[in-house]
A and B are shown apart, each in its own frame.
Chain A
Amino acid sequence: MPQLDFSTFPNQIFWLLVTLVVIYFVMSRIAIPRIGAVLAERAGTITNDIAAAEELKQKAEAAEAAYEKALVDARAEASRIVAEAKAEIQAELDIELQKADAAISAKTAESEKAIAEIRAGAVKSVTAVAKDAAKEIVSALGGKADAKAVTAAVTARMKG
């Protein structure tokens, strides 16, 4: 077995020690500080990034809240404007309606007056026509028409 060939042991041990010393110095002087620094820096960067992300998230939340508030305000403003406009329109409408009602009632009164006049005129002329017609009918039947009696009779009939 070559492993038990003791004549090669000093050689192997010597070169092993050289190798270990070289690797130790490479690791402890170069690799470990460098990798340690990189890992620390990375951890720092990640922490910072997370903090920044947290901050941005809060900002976004604040912006969202402001947006919501603006929206609510705008809604309130809009409904207020709508209510105002409605009230204004209602007031104008009321005034117009009153005017219209007044105009209509005035017209109605006028019309009633006219109708009453017409009716009165009509009754008068009907009375006159009825008297004349009654006189004519009486004379046609050969009677002597007494103007007073005819008028009284017609008036009595008209009332009935």
Chain B
Amino acid sequence: MATETQEESTGLVFHPLDQFIVKPLFGDGPIHWYTITNVTLWMAIAVVAVLALFVFGSRGRAIVPTRTQSVGEMIYGFIYKMVEDVTGKDGIKYFPYILTIFIFILFANFLGLIPMSFTTTSHIAVTAVLGFGVFITVTLIGFVKNGPSFLSLFWMSDAPALLRPIIAIIEVISYFVRPVSHSIRLAGNIMAGHAVIKVFAGFAAIALISPVSVLAITAIYGLEVLVAGIQAYVFTILTCVYLKDALHPHH
């Protein structure tokens, strides 16, 4: 890689992508599907955090909530309202799935901001499973609920007759691009921010630049905190929008 040649000439060490390497926690063998890796560890930490917030935090079932319970209630209310507003009343039954997706992405993003951690959502394998999972589920729901009339999603009946086939082609293409953009948006945002922080951290080795570097890391870290929340929100609201298309395909 180009970074290695730089390293030799200037003494700077850039390994911005090393943080994304998946490695086994125990031993150094090959990675099978069942191997316990750092992915396992950080996903387990995410599960523990979810348990702490939603099970331990709300154990009091208090009418006047504690701080932790209040956070859980806020997330619940936020996603519930989002599902209700975007997909309508008949989308409410998918609320647990959407909440699961949101919670996972939110916790993975924020846990990834802990220094030296591993960010599971920075991997296209993870986000693609989420993105294609949403895509396939939503498409199936669309066909099961509406039958063949689900295809009217692509047929703009209020467009001029001449343009309708062209619009239909564009709509079909954009429909199939959805899962790709859906998953790459999340992984790309998270990965880019983390890589940029690492690059600036590499510059901190030079005494002259290090104050600027530290300031830049601080600033980008703040930005990344925003991005972590916003990307979880964006992923979830797009899921709701796709679900709405599946439930109500007629424009």
Contacts and interface: CB of A to CB of B under 8 A. Distances in A.
A156 interface: no
B122 interface: yes
Contacts of B122: 3
A31 B55 contact: yes
Range, interface on chain A: 35 or more
B76 interface: yes
B51 interface: yes
Contacts of B50: 23, 26-27
B1 to A, nearest CB: 10
B188 to A, nearest CB: 10
Interface string B106-139: 0000000000000010111110011000000000
Interface residues of B, number: 50
B123 A3 contact: yes
A143 interface: no
A38 B43 contact: no
B96 interface: yes
Interface stretch (B32-40, B151-159, B242-250): B32-40
A141 interface: no
A54 B120 CA distance: 53
B76 A31 contact: yes
Interface in A35-89: 35-39, 41-42, 45
Interface stretch (A4-12, A108-116, A124-132, A144-152): A4-12
Contacts of A20: 100-101, 104
B125 A31 contact: no
B197 interface: no
A18 interface: yes
Contacts of A28: 96, 100
Given A3-B125, A20-B100, A24-B97, A38 B63 contact: yes
Interface string B14-56: 0001101110000000111111010110011011001100110
A11 to B, nearest CB: 5
Given A3-B191, A11-B31, 18 more contacts: A2-B18, A2-B123, A3-B124, A12-B22, A12-B120, A12-B123, A13-B125, A13-B129, A14-B33, A14-B34, A16-B126, A17-B129, A24-B97, A27-B100, A30-B54, A32-B99, A37-B61, A38-B63
Q: Lowest 10 A-B CB distances belong to which pairs?
A: A10-B33, A31-B54, A8-B22, A19-B43, A2-B20, A28-B96, A12-B125, A9-B125, A24-B100, A2-B21
Interface of A: 1-5, 7-20, 22-24, 26-28, 30-32, 34-39, 41-42, 45
8 contacts: A2-B18, A7-B30, A12-B123, A12-B126, A13-B129, A18-B43, A23-B47, A34-B58
